[in-house]
Amino acid sequence: MTTPQHDVIVVGAGISGLTTAWHLKQAGVDVKILEANAYAGGVMQTQHRDGFLLEKGPFNVLVRDESFEQLLLHFQDKLDPISASGSSGRSRFVLHRSRLCKLPSNPWQFITTPLLSPIGKLRLIRGLLLSRRGTSANRSIDEAAARRFGREVADRLVSALCVGIYAAESKTLSLAGCFHGIAEMDDRLRSPLISALTSAFKTRRPKRQGLVSFRNGLSALPKVIAEDLGDDLITNCDTKSIKQTQTGFEISYIINGGIDEIIRCRHLVLCVGKSAASTLLKSAAPTLASEISSIPTSPLTVLNLGFDRKHIGHPLDGFGFLVPSTEPDFPLLGVLWADSVFPHHAPKGSRLLRVFIRDSHTNEVDTKSDNELVDIAVTSLRNLLQLTGEPTLVDICHWPNAIPHYTLDHVNRVANIERQLQSHANLHLLGNYLHGMSINDCVKNAAQEASGIITKLSLQKDIKDDMSQQCRQLDHSAIEPKEPAILQSLENKGN
């Protein structure tokens, strides 16, 4: 039996893998995508239960890239995008001294906010007008924020932002790894405020859709992409090993728990988590696998808690709240007020809270029972949100190794990974452990990688066609001159 051969194999049908395969198929590339689970979408999972819409992984998408907009535009007849409630975006909170304080969004709120002392506010203003540039290549987000705007801003505001985005301490995160554009400005600029105003006047940014979800939840997006891929998406397909060959790669997999099967390809794209990528590459590329494995991650537990509206005294008039490093004894990372952002996430008369818990805040989350985790969440929120009742709905989702940490050496580590890839022709890596963790980042990076593969395949085809044409010309020139020479020789003999 002949082993199947394809131009490209994509392993992993999360949003990165689906987007890569979709762009390749749109360009006419022979592509197959292998997914170990019975469903596509990775962590983008939605469940409808008792009138609630429960997001098991990401909660929303922030559209910031043209390639993402084009993807949504292609599927506009199948998706029903819903923008976040305007009121939710105007109010975001930070836990400060055991109470919720609104993040300032205008000059007056900055003047009156209890989050910063008078000295802290003056230090922030001074930093906006004139502050020291960065000098260290591996500087942390915390160091940059404190140098520019003072210790209070770094501890009370920036650390909360890092918890919300990366579920990690700002002292451990690389500024260049997490915010490359801001790191470049930190290298060059003395006045962040003047630079921002100048940029705003000079640059007209294209209008983006902003913060959105879909009527049926985020899983609607991977679902429509998977449907478009059709039979080119193979689920229940557990990839076991990878072998590099002279012409590409040989992938061994088990489908539906059956016998081992083999498939071959010219280009291989690994769109799996960093642990799975490291394991699959251990034999074919041990040095590369070791470098990937060294990227630290942490688990994340997401609790969806439904309540009767009458049992929550707080108005929940905003997006939710985050917990900065100045509140080390509070056991939660933050809480999102889901139905304030997207009202269709909770039935009438109910409220929905999304509670985030991380290991370092709770002492071994994975050793606690679900009941204990719910008790931690409800007890922590009882006074803050004026809870007078127990949850009417509980949904818990554990994500091991969910959050990659872009630590101070992340930029160097990624550079090492990319150098290692140069030794393995036609091997491609995509994932949130490299160049961005948001859905927008994954879609953008996948579109770029697919474009690069299409270019390579086109060049390889052109080279192959040129070689075939040259071979035909050589064959033609090798045969045609012989006949006149022979005839000339016979004529000469005859004469």
Residues 6+ apart with CB under 8 A from 244: 250, 284, 285, 424, 427
Question: CB–CB of 335/301 below 8 Å?
Answer: no
Q: Which residue ranges in the chain fall short of pLDDT 70? A: 1, 88-89, 195-209, 358-366, 460-495
Question: CB–CB of 88/340 below 8 Å?
Answer: yes
Question: CB–CB of 211/336 below 8 Å?
Answer: no
What is the pLDDT at residue 347?
96
Cα angle, residue 323 at apex, residues 321 and 327 outer, rounded to 5°: 140
What is the pLDDT at residue 89?
65
What is the pLDDT at residue 110?
84
What is the pLDDT at residue 467?
47
What is the pLDDT at residue 88?
66
For each of the domains in the chain, give its residue range(s) and CATH number, in order of start.
5-46+218-295+407-454 (3.50.50.60), 103-202 (1.10.3110.10), 297-404 (3.90.660.20)
Burial label for 169, CB within 10 Å (0-12, 13-18, 19+), is middle
What is the pLDDT at residue 205?
54
111: Cα within 13 Å, side-chain hemisphere = 3
What is the pLDDT at residue 492?
45
| Dihedral class, residue 426 (left if φ above 0, else alpha if ψ from -120 to 50, else beta) | left
Name the H helices within 281-438. Answer: 286-293, 338-341, 359-362, 370-381, 410-421
Interatomic CA distance for residues 441 and 431, integer angstroms? 9
Largest Cα–Cα separation, the chain: 119
Q: What is the pLDDT of residues 27-58, one digit of tens each?
A: 999 999 999 999 999 999 999 999 999 999 99
What is the pLDDT at residue 104?
87
What is the pLDDT at residue 490?
32
Length of the chain as a residue count: 495
Question: CB–CB of 408/138 below 8 Å?
Answer: yes
pTM: 0.87
